[in-house]
Chains A and B, each alone.
Chain A
Amino acid sequence: MSAARAITLGASVLLVTGSLAAAPCGRPDVDQTFPYDGAKSVPSNALLSAHYSAPALYSEEGVMLTDAAGAEIAVTTTFDKAENVVRVQPDAALADGTYTAEWPTLRGLSEGGVGLGKTTKFTVQGVTDAARPTFVGLTQIDWDLSRSHDDCTDRQENRFVFKLKVGAATDDAGPDLLSLSVFQTKDPLNPEQSGPNKVALSTWSEDGTVEVKRPAGNAGETCFAAIAQDLVGNVSGGGEREVCVKTQKPPFFDGCSVLPRDPGSSHGALFILLAALGSRVAARGRRAPRRPARAR
């Protein structure tokens, strides 16, 4: 097998496995839980929550919270459709011990069908969260361009990928139980945005970085800031610190297509001009005398 063929075959395998691994288009799967699965030292007054990866329909599905003996704990469940988050407030403070939370499956708004729920375990250990967390804020920013297959559009989509370095944080229940909310404070696609726009929610990053994907439609100065929240809902500082970077337009060419007719646009004229210019250059190229080959 030639090297080129091997590379082509390898790329095909990667593409196939990549699309098999991805969730069906628009399916709301549980992608983040607070506390995370396996968390220790969860405070007794924690508010539990699960984030769904796509907009979902909620029909009073309950969350089953059980203790180590399998006894069900009384909770109040709510769904926040703006954030795609199911929240659970235990009716009483949780006693020390291990708990299991069964997050429900929810139906997607589009054709994504029913998503995946999740079962998580966590341990409550004699801590009551009272103080606000402290957070330095984002400290560094880097960016790149990604071009990956999208299951909904079935084509390659360009996205700017911002790698944000997360500063140090502290909390009385431990920083690893914090959630991180990232806001875009300056967006070249929306220069007149009225306020920062929440673009990511994640559990506390182990490696101190978080990645945010944004549309690659318009390039320019892009800024982010972030805040941390503990399991009770206390908000940290650090949001005043912005990190900014200037992106550049992707150099990709999507191919030729007939432009849609738009009375207010000069694209048609531009296309004709370019075509005429191209044919003239080609004609010149044909007329140009050939250089004699240099004798060796």
Chain B
Amino acid sequence: MALPIVCQVKKFRGVALGLVLLAVACARTGLYPGDLGDESTITDPNVTTGGAASIAGGPQGGAGAGGMPQLAGMPPIAGMAGMAGVAGAPVPVPPECMPSSETCNGRDDDCNGAVDDLPAEACPGGGFRFCVAGRLSECPRRCEVCVPGSIRVCQNSFCSFWGEQECSADGLGFSHCREATPPSACADVARQFKDSVELEQCCLDQGYCCVDSQDLDHDGNRREMIGECRDVVCQ
């Protein structure tokens, strides 16, 4: 039998009290479930407390450890270390920096207040590598995906079965496979075999850079390009 509402409240007052306490605690900390993330984040080994954007923990607290944010190359703010501690509680002492030679690891190894302050490294093919985000950057290439304006041959499953893809002006990718007329040497192959191994082989035999949609090299990759691709790929 259903109890009157007053009785229900009395019966579950313990639960109700718990919920009220939880709500008060949440209001004080400003934290609610699902409110812990943000769309943008800043990862900085030198910053040890939150700001407007959420901060992912870095590998080292750095000289500014102790609860206050400190920027790279800046000395810690005097008297601020340990400010995050509760009044009366023992103030945590930041660990003393033990100098060693600086390496690319996201830490201030030589204790000079700067993280990863290393010179650029020359790459064998030109350009330089830098220590960024605790790792050495990749050696640069003259373009990212393909040489802007370069063309590779692809296969369609209709009409001429022969297509072309042009590299975008920023070299970041290819256009869709656009239908084109096959060269005379491959026209009969296209008519007879359509989108096929034979047509891709003809593309290679004619000295084009061809999308390996038939996996002629049997490496399982049907998106790569094979053939005469020196002027298409970024080396």
Q: How far is the CA of A240 from the CA of B59 in the complex (A)?
A: 10
Q: Dominant SS at the B interface?
A: loop
Q: Which residues of chain A from 209 to 249 have any CB-CB distance to chain B below 8 Å in the complex?
A: 213-215, 217, 223, 225-227, 229, 233-235, 237-246
Contact B133 A258 (CB under 8 A): no
Q: How far is the CA of A254 from the CA of B143 in the complex (A)?
A: 26
Q: Which residues of chain B from 140 to 180 have any CB-CB distance to chain A below 8 Å in the complex?
A: 140-145, 147-150, 155-158, 166-177
Q: Is A134 an interface residue (CB 8 A)?
A: yes
Known: A110-B147, A240-B45, A242-B133. 13 other contacts (CB 8 A): A82-B123, A140-B42, A154-B175, A157-B168, A185-B132, A223-B43, A235-B130, A237-B115, A242-B44, A243-B40, A244-B56, A257-B176, A259-B157
Contact of B43 among A25, A140, A199, A241 (CB under 8 A): A241
Q: Is A153 an interface residue (CB 8 A)?
A: yes
Q: Which residues of chain A from 231 to 279 have any CB-CB distance to chain B below 8 Å in the complex?
A: 233-235, 237-246, 254, 257-262, 264
Contact A110 B148 (CB under 8 A): yes
Q: Dominant SS at the A interface?
A: loop
What are 21 A-B contacts defined by CB distance under 8 Å?
A: A22-B169, A25-B149, A54-B148, A54-B149, A82-B142, A110-B231, A112-B148, A140-B53, A196-B130, A225-B133, A226-B132, A227-B130, A227-B132, A237-B73, A239-B131, A240-B116, A244-B43, A257-B176, A258-B156, A260-B155, A262-B222
Contact A139 B149 (CB under 8 A): no
Q: How far is the CB of A162 from chain B (nearest CB, A)?
A: 10
Tell me the B residues contacting A by CB distance below 8 Å: 39-46, 53, 56, 58, 71-73, 106, 114-120, 123, 125-127, 129-145, 147-150, 155-158, 166-177, 195, 213, 222, 231, 234
Contact of A240 among B115, B120, B155, B171 (CB under 8 A): B115
Determine the chain A residues whose CB is within 8 A of the CB of B139 once the complex forms: 82
Q: How far is the CA of A198 from the CA of B120 in the complex (A)?
A: 13
Determine the chain A residues whose CB is within 8 A of the CB of B132 once the complex forms: 183, 185, 195-196, 225-227, 239-240
Contact B149 A239 (CB under 8 A): no
Nearest 10 A/B pairs, CB to CB:
A26-B149, A82-B126, A110-B149, A153-B175, A82-B127, A26-B148, A239-B132, A242-B43, A55-B142, A196-B132
Q: How far is the CB of B154 from chain A (nearest CB, A)?
A: 8
Q: How far is the CB of A293 from chain B (nearest CB, A)?
A: 46
Q: How far is the CB of B219 from chain A (nearest CB, A)?
A: 14
Using CB atoms, name the residue of chain A closest to B139.
A82
Q: How far is the CA of A281 from the CA of B148 in the complex (A)?
A: 45
Using CB atoms, name the residue of chain A closest to B154.
A260
Using CB atoms, name the residue of chain B closest to A26.
B149
Q: How far is the CA of A225 from the CA of B147 in the complex (A)?
A: 25
Q: How far is the CA of A109 from the CA of B230 in the complex (A)?
A: 10
Q: How far is the CA of A260 from the CA of B231 in the complex (A)?
A: 26
Q: Is A137 an interface residue (CB 8 A)?
A: yes
Q: Is A136 an interface residue (CB 8 A)?
A: yes
Q: Is A81 an interface residue (CB 8 A)?
A: yes
Q: How far is the CA of A81 from the CA of B46 in the complex (A)?
A: 36
With contact pairs A110-B148, A225-B133, A235-B130 given, residues A150 and B168 touching in the complex (Cβ less than 8 Å): yes
Contact of A237 among B39, B117, B147 (CB under 8 A): B117
Q: How far is the CA of A19 from the CA of B125 in the complex (A)?
A: 35
Contact A136 B138 (CB under 8 A): no
Q: How far is the CA of A82 from the CA of B128 in the complex (A)?
A: 9
Contact B43 A181 (CB under 8 A): no
Most buried by A among B41, B123, B132, B139: B132
Q: How far is the CB of A227 from chain B (nearest CB, A)?
A: 6
Q: Is A121 an interface residue (CB 8 A)?
A: no
Determine the chain A residues whose CB is within 8 A of the CB of B156 once the complex forms: 258, 260
Contact of B213 among A241, A243, A260 (CB under 8 A): A260
Q: How far is the CB of B54 from chain A (nearest CB, A)?
A: 10
Q: Is A84 an interface residue (CB 8 A)?
A: yes
Q: How far is the CA of A227 from the CA of B174 in the complex (A)?
A: 30
Determine the chain A residues whose CB is within 8 A of the CB of B118 once the complex forms: 235
Contact B231 A215 (CB under 8 A): no
Q: How far is the CA of A55 from the CA of B141 in the complex (A)?
A: 10
Q: How far is the CA of A81 from the CA of B71 in the complex (A)?
A: 36
Contact of B157 among A83, A183, A258 (CB under 8 A): A258
Q: How far is the CA of A152 from the CA of B144 in the complex (A)?
A: 15
Q: How far is the CA of A242 from the CA of B134 in the complex (A)?
A: 10
Determine the chain B residues whose CB is within 8 A of the CB of A240 once the complex forms: 44-46, 58, 72, 106, 115-116, 132-134
